[in-house]
């Protein structure tokens, strides 16, 4: 039997406010995925999303669905 986990990885509010929009930091995103992989999770699907922040600012986010065998 499998179990699932959904994570949303997005850049912080401060980057969006200072720069007008913010892209996800590839190094931090990679570290987050690797940390979950060490616990047996694997990516099933992933979708990129641009989220509004206080009407004027935007930030990049990724919705990631993870899967692993249930212990």
Contact, 22 vs 15, CB < 8 A? yes
Give this prediction's pTM: 0.73
List pLDDT tens digits, range 4-31. Answer: 999 998 866 555 445 544 567 788 889 9
- Domains defined for the chain, CATH in brackets: 2-69 (3.30.110)
pLDDT score, position 69 = 95
Query: Measuring CA to CA, which residue among 28, 29, 16 is closest to residue 57?
Result: 16
Contacts (Cβ under 8 Å, ≥6 apart) of 48: 60, 61, 62
Strands 57-69 vs 42-53: parallel, antiparallel or unpaired: antiparallel
- What span, in angstroms and rounded, lies between the C-alpha atoms of 43 and 71? 18
Kindly report, residue by residue over 25-69, the tens digit of the pLDDT.
788 889 999 999 999 999 999 998 877 666 666 777 889 999 999
């Amino acid at each position: 039997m499998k179990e699932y986990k959904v994570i949303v990885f997005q850049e912080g509010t401060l980057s969006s406010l200072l720069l007008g929009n913010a892209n996800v930091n590839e190094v931090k995103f990679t570290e987050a995925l690797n940390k979950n992989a060490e616990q047996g999770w694997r990516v099933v699907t992933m979708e990129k999303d641009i989220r509004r922040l206080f009407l004027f600012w935007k930030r990049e986010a990724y919705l990631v669905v993870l899967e692993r065998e249930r212990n």
